[in-house]
Chain A
Amino acid sequence: MAQVKFFATLRDITGKREMEIKNVKNVAELLQHLYEMFGDEFRKEIEERNMILVNGKNILDLDGYETKIKEKDEISIFPPAGGG
């Protein structure tokens, strides 16, 4: 069982701060699952740009959407965001 955390606008779209998820082997599969669950609004918010962390590490510094998800991993999903 992995833990998925949503941030910023994704919380309004999903109505959740976090959820548990089972039986996904990588980030691509996780996203597919979430797109089916939360629909086009969710997809549009993060499809082009996003920040996805697995245990605090950006998937772009790991294996991108192929990054594996294991039991007890924590996945943080952000829409594009910045500040300073």
Chain B
Amino acid sequence: MYGYWGKILRVNLSTGEIKTEEFGEDFVKKWLGTRGFGIHYLLKEMDSKVDPLSEENKMIFSTGALTGTTAPTGGRYMVITKSPLTGYIAMANSGGFFGAELKMAGWDAIIVEGKSNKPVYLRIEDDKVEIKDASHVWGKRVGETERILTEEFGDKHVQIASIGPAGENLVKFAAIMNNGHRAAGRGGVGAVMGSKKLKAIVVRGHKRVEVIDRSKFISVVREKTEKLKNDPVAGSGLPSFGTAVLVNIINQNGLYPTMNFRYGQFKYAEEQSGEAMAKKYLKRNKPCYACPIGCGRVNDMDTVGETEGPEYESTWAMGANLGINDLASIIEANHLCDDLGLDTISTGGTLATAMELYDKGLLKQDDLGDAPPFRWGNTEVLHYYISKLAKREGFGDVLAEGGYRLAEKYGCVDCFMGVKKQELPAYDPRGAEGHGLGYATDNRGGDHIKAYLISPEILGYPYKMDPHDISDEKVKMLILFQDLTAVIDAAGMCVFTTFGLGADDYRDLLNAAFGFNLSTEEWLKIGEKIWNAERLFNLKAGLKPLEEDTLPKRLTDEPMPEGPNKGHVVRLKEMVPRYYALRGWNEDGSISEAKLKELGLEEYI
């Protein structure tokens, strides 16, 4: 087979058994890769109702169809498992170099099952796979873990996906990190790895990923790479200022969530913008594998030395969302989150929830003792509580459960700004209502990256849509974005390519790699199948659509108090029923039998 090896590694940490399984082209045509492969195995082999942190939960580390090839940005992998944060599907995506290395070692995916009774890591050198003792790195931070395991392997080209103390301590929003600062971040996948006592996967590969017709593939890759390089966003905007270029854009558009989504503009946004960061701290750009964009930032700080990021999301999560105006503290906090193995969005969202509770007098200083007060704008909160929550020390133990459980504990669920118990990212949907529908219906809860409607509603790609239009055209655009993103994810490519490439371009790359002749519609159908299969997993796990495909009350009932979107709410109730209908689902949000049949999902019910 081309593009893939047709080989899956199955590792059972309870028994120590290591097995190889094979798949063929039909499996690729059915599920494409990453999220597709992952959801197939979870639906086939696991009861969706299992405790996410029990040995019954499985984790799939999967490459995508073009991972390890020369396709632009074709280096990504995903971790698919049941989330301890949401109780639903988690599919966390990461760049860097780990995914490509895994493919080059001859493995398309790894299924991790069971639970070890002592810390271990998985060592993969091409066909040779071993479960090794990890006692000496248990408790270590990500940077130190990578350094020790690289030294132990004796090859500086080795790639490592690992957890930090946060994952070990089962923090519900712990990430899996690779290349120091690249995160399979959301949904608490790091906690699942920690529950299995799996500290790291260390991989080195020496094989070349083959495509069916190398010269034809190279010419398609060249064409698409040129398109990206000539695109003003992918070729110029993102490399110059990184994702944080959005700080000023989103703030000026009036949907930059400020102080736990109370407001849509932050007075000090300029001081923590991509422009400010580039001027003060940027040392160089750092691209992921095979990436012509290179949005990654290497910043230099007196306090932490060279570090990467923060991205737009992290800048916001630990800045405006907390009312914090100190870029240096934000960069340091981002570095700390990476090293401890934490999702920055959920970390910031949880701290924002605490600030809201403190402000309302529900969380009292007595509850915190001598620890810093959760006052808006208090930079002390960052370093102190991030360190505490990763270790579950003191009040950190409460924070480690995430914003929803924190808000619930103090009697104010509405203080939590999230969906399906996952903290929302950096766009107030009262300024982009279609994006709000995206939050409400995302299979992994509060999330922006599985259907980025900010593109048409604010940035104007592929064309500009009015952010307050909630017509069927908008709902259909959301569905298209959800399905297309599933294809891009499963292809192992980065969603930032969408600024320069369209659906036909992904079709061309995939067909050229595999020698298939599928139409754009056929590839999108695979995306639709993945989306529906993930929804099916959630429904089987107990999702109550009419209660949970929703947004925090603040966004649906409290008009934006000021700025360009003053007076707007998200008219979610007017959109959700049409979304269900346009998806071909039942009125109660379940998937209709006809849709399951059309997508070939009956065998997974």
Contacts and interface: CB of A to CB of B under 8 A. Distances in A.
Contacts of B237: 8-9, 79-83
A80 B564 contact: no
Interface string A13-37: 0000000000000000000000000
Contact of B245 (A49, A55, A61, A83): A83
Contact of A81 (B233, B464, B563): B233
Interface in A46-79: 48-49, 51, 53, 55-58, 60-61, 76, 78-79
A38 interface: no
Given A9-B240, A11-B275, A56-B564, A78 B464 contact: no
B467 A81 contact: no
B201 interface: no
A45 to B, nearest CB: 8
B511 interface: no
Given A57-B564, A61-B464, A8 B245 contact: yes
Contacts of B455: 82
A78 B459 CA distance: 10
A55 B232 contact: no
Contacts of A56: 252-254, 563-565
A60 to B, nearest CB: 4
Given A57-B564, A61-B467, A80 B232 contact: yes
B452 interface: yes
A60 B461 CA distance: 12
Q: Which of A5, A58, A60, A84 has most B Cβ within 10 Å?
A: A84
A17 to B, nearest CB: 8
Given A51-B460, A84-B496, A58 B253 contact: yes
Interface in B255-283: 274-275
Interface string B234-261: 1011101111111011001110000000
Contacts of B583: none
Contact of A82 (B448, B459, B564, B565): B459
A51 B461 CA distance: 11
B466 interface: yes
Q: Which of A57, A58, A60, A61 has most B Cβ within 10 Å?
A: A58
Contacts of A83: 237-238, 242-246, 274, 295, 311-312, 496
A7 B248 contact: yes
Contacts of B246: 81-84
Interface residues of A, number: 23
Contacts of A49: 232, 460
A55 B563 CA distance: 8
Contact of B243 (A7, A51, A78, A84): A84
Contacts of A81: 233, 237-238, 241, 245-246, 249, 459
Q: Which of B241, B246, B249, B495 has most A Cβ within 10 Å?
A: B249
Interface residues of B, number: 42
Give chain B's interface secondary structure class.
helix
B248 A51 contact: no
A39 B464 CA distance: 27
Contacts of A57: 564
A82 B449 contact: no
B275 A8 contact: yes
A83 to B, nearest CB: 4
B506 to A, nearest CB: 17
Interface in B540-590: 563-565
Nearest to B295: A83
Contacts of B274: 8, 83
Q: Which of A11, A76, A80, A83 has most B Cβ within 10 Å?
A: A83
Nearest to B458: A58
A47 B372 CA distance: 50
Contacts of B604: none
A79 B245 CA distance: 11
Contacts of B454: 84
26 contacts: A7-B252, A7-B275, A8-B245, A8-B248, A9-B236, A11-B275, A48-B232, A51-B460, A56-B254, A58-B458, A58-B464, A61-B464, A79-B237, A80-B233, A81-B241, A81-B246, A82-B234, A82-B461, A83-B237, A83-B238, A83-B242, A83-B243, A83-B274, A83-B312, A84-B452, A84-B454
Given A61-B466, A61-B467, 16 more contacts: A8-B237, A8-B245, A9-B236, A9-B237, A11-B275, A49-B460, A53-B564, A58-B458, A61-B464, A81-B249, A82-B459, A83-B243, A83-B246, A83-B295, A84-B449, A84-B496
Interface of B: 232-234, 236-238, 240-246, 248-249, 252-254, 274-275, 295, 311-313, 448-449, 452, 454-455, 458-461, 464, 466-467, 495-496, 499, 563-565
The 10 closest A-B pairs by CB, nearest first: A56-B564, A83-B243, A80-B232, A81-B237, A83-B246, A82-B233, A60-B464, A76-B252, A56-B254, A82-B499
Interface of A: 5, 7-9, 11, 48-49, 51, 53, 55-58, 60-61, 76, 78-84
